[in-house]
Amino acid sequence: MNDTKKPGTPKDSHYAKLRRTFRDQKAGGAPAFRPKRPLPPGENAPDGLVRLYGLHTVRAALDNPRRKIRRMLITRNAAERLEIADLGALPFATEVVEPKEIDKITGTDAVHQGVLIEAEPLKSKALSALGDSPLILVLDQVTDPHNVGAIMRSAVAFGAGALITTQRHSPHESGVLAKSASGALEHIDLIEVRNLADALGELHEAGFQTIGLDSEGPAELEKSFAGDKLALVLGAEGKGLRQKTRETVTALARLDMPGAIHSLNVSNAAAVSLYAARKFLG
């Protein structure tokens, strides 16, 4: 048998398959494969409701007594993974579906893991309702829901008592935000304020030291901590903290990064800062 293939080369490589496919298409034959087109998200949730999806997100919502769920779509596999023995016993409408039915709602880019709920959004709390936690996070117009969700996850992991955001230029509760938070949305108080500078002033009156994270801050973060109540203030990617915020915080500080890159994604900066603050507070 005459085999001219080079030694060590697979007989049917990926590139060989592609060449055959393009040759077949050029000759008018059927292609060897047809990649599926991504399915875009369907219609929005009914008025007044949000759609949340993913195993961690939905499990946390089910366990949250403050969360009012109106409907659930779930696959049998997801029901088993969530350990829901009797779907009929849930206090809201539940429908067992195939994954493609959820794809039609979320779009195929969303990792729904076979479960979706429609629920009322959680109500934002007032700043006056801030609990006695010694550690909180403040976001100065961070708009990316992926970042805000990841920040929520870190905030819950490190025991922050609340996340303060502005009413404008901040993402509303959504499936993307909740999925990025991986359940943390249900475990932290979200406080929305109209004027961030005024809110920082109220935090000062409540005994908080407010530290604005800035890559050009005059001091290292760990050397800036003082007192027994800390509020870490982070700005949006690119523009960072607004000038009024910079003028209002107790101190501006930077993360000590000896490497060639001197800035981090805001969600990563939040995680590092929370770790340092928690170590200081003990």
Looking up residue 61, the CATH number of its domain turns out to be: 3.30.1330.30
Q: What is the mean pLDDT of the chain?
A: 89
The pLDDT of 194-213, averaged and rounded, is 97
CATH code of the domain in which 216 resides: 3.40.1280.10
Residues 265 and 249 in one domain: yes
3-class secondary structure, 272? helix
Classify residue 5 by its DSSP letter.
S
Q: Is residue 16 part of a domain?
A: no
Residue 15 lies in a domain: no
Quick one: 192 and 166 in the same domain? Answer: yes
Q: What is residue 22's predicted lDDT score, i.e. its pLDDT?
A: 56
Last residue of a domain, one of 119, 146, 172: 119
Would you say residue 98 has pLDDT above 80? yes
Q: Of 92, 119, 146, at which residue does a domain stop?
A: 119
Averaged pLDDT, 162-185: 94
Q: Are residues 162 and 246 in the same domain?
A: yes
Q: Are residues 131 and 257 in the same domain?
A: yes
Instruction: Mark which of 119, 144, 161 sits at the end of a domain.
Output: 119
One domain for residues 173 and 248: yes
Domain count, the chain: 2
* Residue 12 pLDDT > 60: no
Q: Does 211 lie in the same domain as 100?
A: no
DSSP bridge pairs for 235: 140
pLDDT at 1: 47
Q: Which domain holds residue 266?
A: 127-281
Name the band, by pLDDT with cuts 50, 70 and 90, for residue 21.
low
270 shares its domain with 134: yes
Asked if 72 and 175 sit in the same domain, the reply is no
Percent of the chain with pLDDT over 70: 87
- Clarify whether residues 148 and 238 are in a common domain: yes
Residue 165 falls inside a structural domain: yes
Q: Which of 161, 167, 151, 210 is nearest to 189 (CA)?
A: 161
Q: How far apart are CA 166 and CA 172, in angstroms?
A: 11
Predicted confidence at residue 230, as pLDDT, reads 98
**Closest by Cα among 112, 172, 181, 184 to 150:** 181
User: What pLDDT, on a 0 to 100 scale, did the predictor assign at position 279?
Assistant: 96
Q: What is the pLDDT of residue 83?
A: 95
Q: Confidence band (pLDDT; 50, 70, 90) for 15?
A: low
Residue range 222-277, pLDDT digits in tens = 999 999 999 999 999 888 999 999 999 999 999 998 898 888 999 999 999 999 99
Same domain, 90 and 166: no
What mean pLDDT comes out for the span 13-31?
Answer: 57
- pLDDT of residue 26 exceeding 80, the answer is no
Look up residue 236 and give its DSSP letter.
B
Tell me, yes or no, whether 67 and 147 share the same domain: no
Same domain, 148 and 75: no
Q: What is the mean pLDDT of residues 100-120?
A: 94
> Are the C-beta atoms of residues 252 and 212 closer than 8 Å to each other?
yes
